[in-house]
Structure 1
Amino acid sequence: MQPIIYDVAVSIDGYISGPGGDISKFAHEGPVVDDYFERMRHYAVAIMGRHTYEFGYRFGLEPGANPYKHMRTYVFSKGLKLPEGSDVTVVDAIDCTELQSLRRSASGPIYLCGGGSFAGTLLSAGLIDRVRLKRAPILLGGGTCLFDGATKPPAFAILQTRSYDNGYVFQEYEVKR
């Protein structure tokens, strides 16, 4: 069974984006970003919520296009409508059975790319196996929380930590059950 891994940049105050979805204060180049792209090569499936998928529209993503060409991509949303023949699969609801099936059928690790509410729901349901944080030396003061609405916070075990010259810290955690 493949793990679900939440791999995300986060501010010191716990936000994955600022007010209005602002990500401009996060690093967009350099070693921390290079390491992220290297990890991306090893994921087989991407999962996300509607707001994360639609966030890509700001950067030229066309409705129905797959933002991760080398991965099968699933968007979990009750209201998202995409064109016929889309390159992504829309799943109407967060269904633990559906996610377990996806974990069994995936050819490699599953990348949970966001967003905060989706991650909070999956964490509460016990469906996240690892958390990979790119901790940015910034304060956002509001926006999208790392685990918005998580109701059953588990324990975490640190697997690795790496510091970067630009003040970023990469941390990988195993979710304890």
Structure 2
Amino acid sequence: MRKVILWASVSLDGYYEGPGGDISWHQVSPQLHAYFNEEIATHSAFLEGRRTHQLMTEFWPTADEDPANAGPVAEFAEIWRRITKIVYSRTLTAADAPWADRLERRVDVGAVAALKAQPGGDMTVGGADLAATFLELGLVDEVRLFVVPVLLGAGRLLFAPTGRAENLRLVENRTFDGGVVMLRHEVVRETSVG
């Protein structure tokens, strides 16, 4: 069964974006980018919200055409283009999302469960709002956070307060050049006995 993996970079104080949507503080060394490429190349789909999809389509479709983007960046452009992109948006049309393989108006638990049951690689969910919805609906199987050694002090939290607890189990941690730490957690599902 394919997993849904929430994959995100966060500041040490938990912000997904700085003020005004700033992500210039992300530190993606060649070592970290090579890790991204190796892992994501095995994935079967990007599950993206509108903002994340639009941000990705501003750069990745032609990133490898620029000689300045040689190496892991150019490699990721090819990976990004070939992986299925399912975009969740109530406002986008197909014309607004030319790289979307499928446009969904809402997250349907049954449809995502059917996706998870298909053969193939895991799926990455991206975007704070979409990730929150997937978490709330119990659709996230794993959380991979890339903690950047910076304190932003303001911006948009990845995990907004929800009033409910999620149990996670640490299954891997790894440090990359520049001090970025990857924390990989499995979501612990309560199972009833009897």
Give TM class, smaller chain: 0.7 to 0.9
Task: Using the TM superposition, give the Cα deviation of residue 153 of structure 1 relative to its aligned residue in structure 2, in angstroms.
Answer: 3.1
- Structure with bigger strand share is 1
Q: Does 1:36 align with 2:36?
A: yes
> Alignment partner for residue 158 of structure 1, among 165, 170, 173?
170
Contact 1:44/1:106, CA 8 A, preserved across alignment:
no
Task: Using the TM superposition, give the Cα deviation of residue 58 of structure 1 relative to its aligned residue in structure 2, in angstroms.
Answer: 4.1
The match for 2:67 is none
Number of equivalences: 173
The match for 2:151 is 139
The answer for unaligned runs of 5 or more in structure 1 is none
- Structure with bigger helix share is 2
Larger Rg: 2
Task: Using the TM superposition, give the Cα deviation of residue 29 of structure 1 relative to its aligned residue in structure 2, in angstroms.
Answer: 2.7
The match for 1:105 is 118
Task: Using the TM superposition, give the Cα deviation of residue 174 of structure 1 relative to its aligned residue in structure 2, in angstroms.
Answer: 0.3
The match for 1:130 is 142
Distance 1:140 1:101, change over 3 A: same
TM-score (norm 2): 0.80
Contact 1:120/1:149, CA 8 A, preserved across alignment:
no
Distance 1:48 1:148, change over 3 A: farther
**What are the superposed Cα offsets for residues 31-87 of structure 1, whole Å, 9 maximum, x if unpaired?**
12221121111111110111111223543759xxx9822211100111111229944
Distance 2:113 2:50 in 1: 20
Distance 1:127 1:121 in 2: 9
Contact 1:124/1:151, CA 8 A, preserved across alignment:
no
Q: Does 1:47 align with 2:47?
A: yes
The answer for unaligned runs of 5 or more in structure 2 is 63-77, 190-194
Distance 2:99 2:13 in 1: 35
**Mapping for residues 163-174 of structure 1, pairs under 5 Å:** 163-174=175-186
TM-score (norm 1): 0.87
**Cα RMSD (Å):** 2.4
Distance 1:37 1:170 in 2: 15
Contact 1:121/1:150, CA 8 A, preserved across alignment:
no
